[in-house]
C-alpha cells in the first residue's frame, strides 16, 4: 500500500502576524493540492495520514475521501480538546468539516500520557511518520508550509525533518501559501 502524509500550517486566526495561511487562500491551496493528488494518482490503493487540524489536514483528508483513498486521522489530543485547540475558528466551517470526516475515516488518538504540553504534537508527528514507514518505505508527503520553524514543537518543520526527505526529493511537495499573499509596500 502507498502512503501519503498530508500536513501543514493551521489556517490563521484573524490578525495573525505575519500571516502564514489566511482563510481566503483555502481555495487556492485546495486546487494546488488537488492537482498533486491527480498527478500522483491518489486513490483506493493509497492510505492518507494526517493530523486532522483545520487547513492542510482537513483539505487533504476530504480530497482523499473523494478519490476513494483510505484516510487516517492521527489526533494529538482527545477529540473535543483537539477540536478546541486545532480545528475551531469562529465564522468558518472547519468544525463541521472535521465532524463530517470523523464519520468516514479511521480516527486514532495519541495515548494519554504519551507526551505533555505542546510535545503531544511532536509525538504525534513521530507516530504518524513511523506508521507511514511501517506500511511504505517510500511515503510521499504534501505539506502546506512556509519553510520556516513553527510556533512550537511538533509543527510542519518537525514533520518534514522526521521524514528525512532531502531538498528536491520528488516524494515531497511543498505548497507555500505565503507566496500567494499580496505584499504591501
Residue 127's alpha-carbon distances to 75, 80, 106, 156, in angstroms, are 10, 20, 15, 14
pLDDT in tens, 126-184: 999 999 999 999 999 999 999 888 776 778 889 999 998 887 899 999 999 999 776 54
CA distance 154 to 121: 4
Query: Dihedral angle at the C-alpha atoms of 43, 46, 49, 53, nearest 10 degrees?
Result: 0
Strands across the sheet containing 2-8? 106-109, 70-75, 46-50, 2-8, 140-144, 172-175
With 0-12 / 13-18 / 19 or more C-beta atoms within 10 angstroms meaning exposed / middle / buried, residue 34 is middle
Residue 30 lies in a domain: yes
| Confidence at residue 150, expressed as pLDDT on a 0 to 100 scale | 72
Q: What is the CATH number of the domain that holds 88?
A: 3.40.50.450
| Confidence at residue 8, expressed as pLDDT on a 0 to 100 scale | 95
CA distance 63 to 154: 24
Residue 185 lies in a domain: no
Residue 53 lies in a domain: yes
Q: Has residue 90 got a pLDDT over 80?
A: yes
Residue 149 lies in a domain: yes
What is residue 174's three-state secondary structure? strand
pLDDT in tens, 4-50: 999 999 999 999 999 999 999 999 999 999 999 999 999 999 999 99
Residue 56 sits in which domain range?
2-180
pLDDT-based confidence at residue 112 (cuts at 50, 70, 90): low
The model's pTM is 0.93
Residue 73, number of CB atoms within 10 A of its CB:
24
Residue 152 lies in a domain: yes
In the chain, how many domains are there?
1
Amino acid at each position: 500500500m502507498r502512503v501519503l502524509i498530508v500536513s501543514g500550517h493551521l489556517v490563521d486566526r484573524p490578525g495573525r502576524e505575519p500571516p502564514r495561511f489566511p482563510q481566503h487562500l483555502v481555495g487556492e491551496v485546495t486546487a494546488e493540492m488537488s492537482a498533486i493528488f491527480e498527478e500522483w494518482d491518489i486513490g483506493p490503493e493509497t492510505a492518507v495520514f494526517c493530523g486532522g487540524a483545520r487547513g492542510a489536514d482537513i483539505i487533504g483528508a476530504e480530497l482523499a475521501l473523494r478519490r476513494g483513498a483510505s484516510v487516517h486521522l492521527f489526533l494529538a489530543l482527545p477529540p473535543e480538546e483537539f477540536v478546541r485547540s486545532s480545528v475551531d475558528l469562529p465564522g468558518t466551517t472547519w468544525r463541521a468539516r472535521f465532524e463530517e470526516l470523523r464519520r468516514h475515516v479511521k480516527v486514532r488518538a495519541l495515548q494519554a500520557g504519551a507526551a505533555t504540553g505542546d510535545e503531544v504534537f511532536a509525538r504525534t508527528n513521530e507516530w504518524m511518520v513511523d506508521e507511514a514507514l511501517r506500511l511504505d518505505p517510500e511515503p510521499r508527503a504534501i505539506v502546506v508550509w512556509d519553510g520556516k520553524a513553527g510556533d512550537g514543537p511538533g509543527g510542519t518543520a518537525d514533520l518534514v525533518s522526521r521524514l528525512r526527505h532531502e531538498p528536491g526529493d520528488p516524494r515531497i511537495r511543498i505548497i507555500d501559501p505565503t507566496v500567494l499573499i499580496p505584499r504591501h509596500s
